[in-house]
Structure 1
Amino acid sequence: MASTEELDKVTNDTTDLTINDTKSVNTTAKTPTPAANTDTSNASDAAKTGGGTVKTLPKAFRENFKLFSKFGDTKSDGKSLTLSQSDKWMKQAKVIDGKKITTTDTGIYFKKFKSLKIGLSDYHKFIESLAKAKTVSEDDLIQKMADSGTPVSNSNAASAGQIQNTIDRLTDPSRYTGSSKQRFDESGKGKGIAGRKDVVEGAGYVQGYQNKNSYDKTH
């Protein structure tokens, strides 16, 4: 039979093992587990931009979209544009050239959305379908429209040279015929009323005789 000392030693060893196992379990339980990556910023941005489609568009393009959507419509909130506003933008950006892409083409693909106005996400889809149908680069179309600048009205589109050419043409007396030719002198300066009609003088020598010095001109 085992002695009392041997039994005490076995009991102490068993107790030590139990304590060590307990410490190991506690240490494992306290060790923090790395949290899974829950960064949803990209998903949030994609949700805000309609599934990520709008997010790929250049900033200048998005800014021009707002400007052209308000062009000619003071009540517009800048979030959607019409076909006429789109055509205005594309003409200014040289996307519509009357050859490769025409207003007939834009009308066909714009009206597929069955709405008078479309938002930025749908407008991107419109450009995608237009570019695919006309076999042109979608990126090129978007870049041209991003570089188009702010809306310019037709009245402001004429250059200073064009305006001066128009003035020169309208004030060149050699281009006129008949009475219109008499309205300007040789330098192109207008003659005023003298160039439009004969001025009759009311002065005379005696009562009943008017238009002084006119007798010699008619006899």
Structure 2
Amino acid sequence: MSAEPPTQEVQNLKIENGDVKTEAPGTPPSKEASAVTFEENFKVFAKFGDPKSDGKQITLSNSDKWMKQAKVIDGKKITTTDTGIYFKKLKSQKVAIVDYKKFLEDLAKNKKVEVVEIKNKLAGCGPPGHHGLGSVKVTSTVDRLTDTSKFTGTHKQRFDETGKGKGIAGRKDLPDTSGYVSGYKNKDTFEKEKP
């Protein structure tokens, strides 16, 4: 008989920089959620897509990406229109973390959501990235449509026998400029014939 670990009856609390983070009862704190703070995620998302950024200020665009990934923006309770309205009240294109917290408080108050809940979601969403898409499955349809040996007409001329594309030579009819045409006279011989 194996002994099961006892279930946790109280909520896990974590206090970071004055913010209280709560986790659901009965679940151990996740490594990813406990390892990354709200401030660290702010810095990472502020830098996302802008190599010149130092991570001290975030734009509305990056804020919306962060909120969508954290599922704060759900399209029903909180939308990108809402975030745009409350972000523009700060009268700046980029805001520091202090102003960003004011933005979150204003948004939460007006949308009747707890600020702690929003910050927890933002802290636990992980690094910015491309989520939700799996690998592309190669099916018989894809194989059939990409088989260059079955191409006809002008499309057939765009590929060589091995299926490799010819590049510009396969798309344009390039003239032969090798030099030989009927009636062609070499410049040197033409000048020699002049008396």
Q: Which of the five TM-score ranges fits, normalised by the shorter chain?
A: 0.5 to 0.7
1:99 equivalent in structure 2: 76
TM-fit CA distance, 1:56: 1.9
Distance of 2:47 and 2:147 partners within structure 1: 46
Distance of 1:90 and 1:71 partners within structure 2: 13
Residue of 14, 18, 25 corresponding to 1:56: 18
Normalising by structure 1, we get a TM-score of: 0.51
Give ranges in structure 1 of 5+ residues lacking alignment. Answer: 1-53, 174-182, 200-219
TM-fit CA distance, 1:197: 2.6
Q: CA RMSD in A?
A: 2.4
- Provide, for residues 136-158 of structure 1, a one-character-per-residue CA deviation record: whole Å limited to 9, x for no partner: 111111100000100004xx641
State how many pairs are aligned: 124
Give ranges in structure 2 of 5+ residues lacking alignment. Answer: 1-15, 22-35, 157-195
1:212 equivalent in structure 2: none
Q: What SS does the aligned partner of 2:81 have?
A: helix
TM-fit CA distance, 1:196: 1.0
Residue of 159, 166, 180 corresponding to 2:134: 159
1:174-193 to structure 2, matched below 5 A, reads 184=144, 191-193=147-149
Q: Does 1:83 align with 2:52?
A: no
Fraction of identical pairs, as percent: 50
Distance 1:191 1:80, change over 3 A: closer
Normalising by structure 2, we get a TM-score of: 0.57
Q: Which of 1 and 2 has greater Rg?
A: 1
1:142 equivalent in structure 2: 119
1:27-42 to structure 2, matched below 5 A, reads none
TM-fit CA distance, 1:191: 4.2
Distance of 1:86 and 1:101 partners within structure 2: 13
TM-fit CA distance, 1:131: 0.6
Distance of 1:93 and 1:127 partners within structure 2: 14
1:24 equivalent in structure 2: none
Query: When you count helix as a share of all residues, which structure comes out higher?
Result: 1
1:14 equivalent in structure 2: none
Query: When you count strand as a share of all residues, which structure comes out higher?
Result: 2
